[in-house]
Amino acid sequence: MKRKIFSWMILIAMTAALSACKGAELHATVTLTEQWWSGWKKEQPEPTVKTFADIAEGTILYDSAYDGTITVSGVTEEAVVLQIEHSCFVEPNENGNINLGAAPVKTLTVKRGEEKELVTQALDGGVTLRIAYAVGE
């Protein structure tokens, strides 16, 4: 009986480990470009580009005391799903304007080959994040 229980525990552990490695099997990559900006000066800081290779569920892409965290909550060949825990990121309107009254984004799906943008709800300064997703590159 103990042997059966142990076998089932090993099987469950291996299944969980394989599920967590799905992004690595796909060679799934997220590129995050962070651009801080200020409306008070002409010169703007250079953007910071971070590439996260072989991502998996639970990978933290962004962690800021000011803006919160962005964590991978799902990875498939077609898209990556991000869980966003913050109070100020929204998607810009189609014309590029920032909707100051919009509810913050909590979940964002970025399709393969696509780039999505999140912006802080501010007019005088903030951050723009561009998130791109690729597989097998």
Query: Which segments within the chain are labelled E, that is strand?
Result: 28-38, 48-52, 60-64, 68-75, 79-85, 89-90, 107-111, 115-120, 125-135
Q: Where are the domains of the chain?
A: 2-135
Beta-strand relationship, 28-38 and 48-52: antiparallel
Structure tokens at 10: 């090993």
| pLDDT tens per residue across all 137 residues of the chain | 555 454 444 444 444 444 444 445 778 899 999 999 888 888 989 999 999 999 989 999 988 766 688 999 999 989 999 999 887 889 998 898 888 888 888 999 999 999 999 998 888 888 899 999 998 85
pTM: 0.76
Q: How far apart are CA 9 and CA 119, in angstroms?
A: 44
Instruction: With CA atoms as reference, report the closest residue to 60 among 43, 48, 72, 74.
Output: 72
